[in-house]
Amino acid sequence: MLNCYHCGNDIVKNEVIVFNDKDFCCKGCQTVYDLFSENGLGTYYDFEKNPGAAPKDFGSKYNYLDNTDIADKLLDFKEGSTQIIRLYIPYIHCSSCIWILENLNTLNPAVTHSQVVFSQKKVSITYNSENISLKNLVLLLASIGYEPYISLEQYDAKPKLIDRGLLYKIGVAFFGFGNVMLLSFPEYFNVEDVWMHQYRDFFRYFNILLALPVFLYSATPYYKSAYHSIKTKAYNIDIPMALGIIVMFVRSLVDIFFQDGAGFLDSMCGLVFFMLSGKLIQQTTYNFLSFERDYKSYFPIAVTKIDQQKEIPIQVYEIERGNQLLIRNEELIPVDAILLSDTAFIDYSFVTGEAVPVEKKSGDKIYAGGKQVGNAVTVEAINTVSQSYLTQLWSNEVFQKKVSQKIQTITDKASHIFTPALLTIAIIGFIGWSFTSFNNAFNVLTAVLIVACPCALALTAPYTWGNVIRLMGKRKFYLKNTAVIEQLSKVDTVVFDKTGTLTSNTNQQIKYVGDPLSKDDLTAVKNIVRGSNHPLSRRLYLILPETSIEKPVHYQEVAGKGIEGSFKDQTLKIGSANWVGATDASEINQTKVYISINNKIKGFYVFENKYREGIKELFDTLKNRNYKLYVLSGDNNGEQRMLERLVPENTRLIFNQKPDDKLNFIKNLQLANHNVLMIGDGLNDAGALAQSDIGISISENVNVFTPASDAIIDASVFTKLPYFLNFAKNAMKTIKMSYCFAITYNIVGLSFALSNNLSPLVAAIIMPVSTATIISFVTVMSNYFERKSK
């Protein structure tokens, strides 16, 4: 029997298609191989032999995708010729699948980007609709063996948490285990009854029939996994598992057919049953401690809802269809919406990578993920927040940092060397005991193969990280991914932005100094600052008198400087002294926003900043734990004396920092071998947040989307930063303790197995128990440290 080089299907000699000395089961597989070879994708087969599915003739199956209304329901994004779609592909199962799907642009240049989410078996594809239609894109995937599953009704439905096939296999194994053990009961007590002696062979042969479904069906996951593991030289734990099952079955056949005993069929069936049960427990526990959080966890940000001409901040997950939303400059559009304002300029760089704003007219559809540039605009929501879409934006590979994952590397290495070492130990034990008793040698071999469990080693890190990230989310500290936890534990330097981070927008005293502003002047100022997301602009907007809201003729905001705009016949500049051309010689404890109208400096608003409660305790705690502390501010040094009273000695206070200055400051700290945590409001700090080892964006009723940040912290828990840093360090302790626990278990278990004091059946029961134990241990310890971290 031959196997197809592409899909692995069995083929008979008279049906084989030979091409380039390769065997194929059909013309489709041969065509796919030829297509890959012509486009330089031949290394696809180096990852894993026969990774694809056999292509089929789809005929008119996907003609419905030519219908624009249907296609639009499937698309995540559509702007001009750029379209994005996420497709569920059941055939994704290995590294070669990921590799080929993320290299679709080589097969068709119309595909600009594709990214696979392996755990969900989904691929997100960005493509040019002028050069390839959605239908042809789907046919391209199907033609190379990756036919997507498309269902409009169930497209967003969650996958089933438990594999029903696993339940069927457990059922068959339990049936075989129970009946074989029942029929073998007299063998256990060595009953020498005449009737039993006469029918003993019948019961033994009948046990073989009962054990066959268990051996040939229930145990197949271990055979397949071991086979693929050997082919790819990954050497996972399923190799000794499969070997133990096969050895026990074959040995039982030999014993029964040669009248040498009842064999180990009951142990073999019990082994399969308990191992599959352990897999079910592991899968259930994994689903319970799911690492995937919803958008409520990822985005604790607010958007401004317009209700009866009042502007009310609401959380993004409270948005309903039909809500009117105010989107300011640089704000993320969290839902698909219809533009109500006359015009808008939408920056879709977070979605497509293209930074050129797209002009939209009233009535146009705007997709979630865009960022408004310029004037504030009003939109009407036509969808609720998309959980996975916003998550995808934040986790876009463009914004990922190259983070070393030492613990994960240790886990990978341990799992890779564990199986060869285990097989060596098992063989040595078998040879040693075979000099005394072959039966004892066989028991030792199977017990060693079964009792050793690298699952505990492999599961330690992901379960710890998964539980910690969930617990931190409960305390309003939201992490992008689990790698952030390890990086947090390594931080030795903390850099704070001042405005909007150390200072709070609540209860802020504001007074005006300068030439009186007329009613028209105040109207112009309010309409200009309405479009800004800066904390000072937002605070100023709230204290200005109520007036009619109209769209400025011109609007521009420059990070770190201020706003420039035109309202009716007035030209305004609002921002720092340098921005409007003023001279500020004062050194008093003040933050100022200057107003210039028609090139005449009118005066300035003085903000008497209110620092967040607990700032002094926060800095003292960090200082006592030997963190190096810095404060960077774009303001002048007018508040230096105030800050010096709040922060410990040796805390460096640096003022007049532009966004580029902040970024370079972080870079210089890193060049001095410091692990830097930067925390800012995400407005002028995006570059510094991206440069830092850990960037944290503080959220206080501001819908500022900061993909450069690794975490979002709610302003209400800002002063608990030392707690989170300590929790991350304790998570590392949990990892180390659980490693010690797992290694100790394996040493003790192997000692009993090598000394022939552990039966294969008991070993099969202990193995899933150890997995459940390590999961329980890391869960309990991480919950304990959550309560004890300070």
Mean pLDDT of 466-481: 80
* pLDDT confidence of residue 268: 81
Residue 150: DSSP 8-state: -
pLDDT surpasses 50 at 406: no
Helical spans, DSSP H, in 571-656: 577-580, 615-624, 640-646
Buried b (16+ CB within 10 A) or exposed e, 510-539: bebeeeebeeebebbbbbbbbbbbbbbbbb
DSSP secondary structure string for all residues of 59-120 = TTTTGGGGSHHHHHHHEEEEETTEEEEEEE-TT--SHHHHHHHTTHHHH-TTEEEEEEEGGG
Q: In 10 A of CB 773, how many CB atoms?
A: 16
Q: In 10 A of CB 301, how many CB atoms?
A: 24
Residue 210 binned pLDDT confidence (cut-offs 50, 70, 90) = very high
Beta strands in 525-647 (DSSP E): 554-558, 562-567, 570-575, 591-597, 600-611, 628-632
- Alpha-carbon distances, residue 712 vs 241, 411, 515, 690 (angstroms): 44, 28, 41, 13
Helical spans, DSSP H, in 631-759: 640-646, 659-671, 686-691, 721-754
SS3 category, 313: strand
SS3 category, 330: coil
Residue 38 CA to residue 35 CA, distance in Å, equals 5
Nearest to 204 by CA among 152, 252, 139, 143: 252
- Strand partners of residue 739: none
Mean pLDDT of 391-416: 52
How do residues 728-750 score in pLDDT, each as one tens digit?
898 888 888 887 887 787 788 88
Give the residue carrying structure tokens 């063996």.
145
Paired tokens of 94? 């290995």
Q: In 10 A of CB 54, how many CB atoms?
A: 16
Mean pLDDT of 760-785: 73
Fold designation for 505-610? Calcium-transporting ATPase, cytoplasmic domain N (3.40.1110)
188 vs 534 pLDDT, higher one: 534
Cα dihedral value 294, 296, 297, 302, nearest 10? 150
Mean pLDDT of 578-590: 69
Fold designation for 299-391? 2.70.150
φ, ψ for residue 325 (rounded to 5)?
-120, 140
**pLDDT winner (highest mean) among 301-315, 524-538, 614-628:** 614-628
**pLDDT winner (highest mean) among 12-26, 189-203, 243-257:** 243-257
Q: In 10 A of CB 272, how many CB atoms?
A: 31
pLDDT surpasses 80 at 568: yes
3-state DSSP percent of the chain in helix, strand and coil, to 5: 50, 20, 30
Residue 530 CA to residue 521 CA, distance in Å, equals 14
* pLDDT confidence of residue 306: 86
* pLDDT confidence of residue 676: 92
Residue 213 CA to residue 169 CA, distance in Å, equals 9
377 vs 7 pLDDT, higher one: 377
Paired tokens of 158? 């969650």
Domain residue extents for the chain? 2-47, 63-143, 169-284, 299-391, 466-501+611-726, 505-610
Residue 375 CA to residue 532 CA, distance in Å, equals 8
Paired tokens of 626? 């030997």
Residue 392 falls in which region: left (phi positive, over 0), alpha (psi -120 to 50) or beta: alpha
φ, ψ for residue 443 (rounded to 5)?
-60, -45
Q: Which long-range contacts (CB under 8 A, 24 or more apart) does 560-566 make?
A: 560/634, 560/658, 560/659, 560/684, 562/593, 562/594, 563/528, 563/529, 563/531, 563/532, 563/537, 565/528, 565/531
pTM (predicted TM-score): 0.61
* pLDDT confidence of residue 420: 77
* pLDDT confidence of residue 17: 66
Paired tokens of 41? 């994708």
Give the residue carrying structure tokens 């035109």.
566
Tell me the angle at which helices 238-257 and 265-288 cross, rounded to the nearest 10 degrees: 160
Mean pLDDT of 538-550: 80
**pLDDT winner (highest mean) among 1-10, 33-42, 473-482, 691-700:** 691-700
Residue 673 falls in which region: left (phi positive, over 0), alpha (psi -120 to 50) or beta: left
Calculate the average pLDDT of the chain: 76
Nearest to 790 by CA among 724, 734, 737, 714: 724
Q: Which CATH number fits domain 2-47: 2.30.30, 2.40.50, 1.25.10, 2.30.170?
A: 2.30.170
Fold designation for 466-501+611-726? Rossmann fold (3.40.50)
Residue 698 binned pLDDT confidence (cut-offs 50, 70, 90) = confident
Paired tokens of 258? 């040669």
CATH 3.30.70.100 fits 63-143, yes or no: yes
Strand order of the sheet with strand 371-372? 358-361, 343-347, 371-372
Residue 760 CA to residue 742 CA, distance in Å, equals 20
**pLDDT winner (highest mean) among 17-26, 475-484, 665-674:** 665-674
Residue 210 CA to residue 273 CA, distance in Å, equals 14
pLDDT surpasses 80 at 222: yes
